[in-house]
Amino acid sequence: MMRSLFISTALALAGTSAFADALEGKKSGAEILAETTAEDWRTIPAEDTLVIELERGKVTVALAPALAPRHVEQIRTLAREKFYDGLSFYRVIDGFVAQGGDPFGERKIRKAKKSMKAEFERAGDEIAFAATKDVDGFAPAVGFVQSLPAGRDEKTGTHWLLHCAGAFAFGREDGKDTASTEFYVALQQQRYLDRNMSVFGRVIDGMQHLQALRRVEPPETKDDDIGEKIVSIRIAADIPEGERETWEILDSARPAFAAYAEARRNRPEAFFHFRADHLDVCQMPVPVRKKEAP
């Protein structure tokens, strides 16, 4: 069972006895991480960190305002309204998604939007895209935006987050501008949904709690199983500084990130006898770590 879609440096380095293959003469991903400096890591702002408290544990999501600013602002507003407190993950489909929110549409929306314009993709010269060289079946180019797996279309100049496992998005009705409050997390990659839904974040820790949720179908009546309870959803900036966790992510704009990605493309550890010379952007575990208090 996955603990997280992202890999902590402690996990990457602990118990590692496989060194780079002498025939390759290249460093392993663990060795590259061990040599990173503070400049190779980007602190995820507390305003862009979403914390979902479940009875079984905590889930942390890195939000992406650079690619979907309206949706990020919506989830911030809903979290600050405490909209989700006491609701549930009422649709959990094995191998698909875990969806949470208000299945009967009864909870009052205060300052948040009742519907939003879709942000399936976003253009902007200011969006830094770290491309990989790999051919992808769903996007003209794939890579990373602020260390989150993303696609790019050079012709339109647009970028979007991918439906890799851990993708965080709002659900909607058939109309593309109908998203409002109901969110979901992809339990496995669902790339056919790319550019059909507005993905605006990704789980960086606690994925195992979502994978372990009780499988339920959307309830038709209040007597049906509505799934496991959401204790609360908060923006980390609203949690007292002494109680909140601050996360760092390996910065996709740094050479260390490119070197780490290359080490995942052709694993140099002696264990590997076949190297495919291919990087699946959804399968690369992007390193994260908790930032130590000063």
Q: Is residue 74 part of a domain?
A: yes
pLDDT at residue number 269: 87
Q: Is residue 226 part of a domain?
A: yes
Tally of structural domains, the chain: 1
Average pLDDT per consecutive 10 residues, the chain (294 residues; last block may be shorter): 53 46 73 97 98 98 97 98 98 98 96 96 95 96 98 97 98 97 98 98 98 97 96 98 96 98 91 90 96 76
Residue 251's SS3 state is: coil
pLDDT at residue number 5: 58
Where residue 55 falls (left for φ over 0; alpha for ψ -120 to 50; beta otherwise) is: alpha
Q: Is residue 136 part of a domain?
A: yes
pLDDT at residue number 199: 98
pTM of the model: 0.92
pLDDT at residue number 71: 98
Q: Is residue 19 part of a domain?
A: no
Sign for the CA dihedral angle at 207, 212, 217, 219 comes to negative
Listed residue (264, 15, 64, 37) closest to 166, CA to CA? 64
Listed residue (5, 24, 7, 64) closest to 272, CA to CA? 24
Eight-state DSSP code of residue 292: P
Sign for the CA dihedral angle at 199, 200, 205, 209 comes to negative
CATH number for the domain harbouring residue 214: 2.40.100.10
pLDDT in tens, 255-288: 999 999 999 999 998 888 888 999 999 999 999 9
Q: Is residue 16 part of a domain?
A: no
pLDDT at residue number 234: 98
Q: Is residue 31 part of a domain?
A: no
pLDDT at residue number 13: 47
Residue 84 CB neighbours (<10 A): 23
Q: Tell me which residue range forms the domain holding 144.
A: 44-253
pLDDT in tens, 117-141: 999 999 998 999 999 999 999 999 9
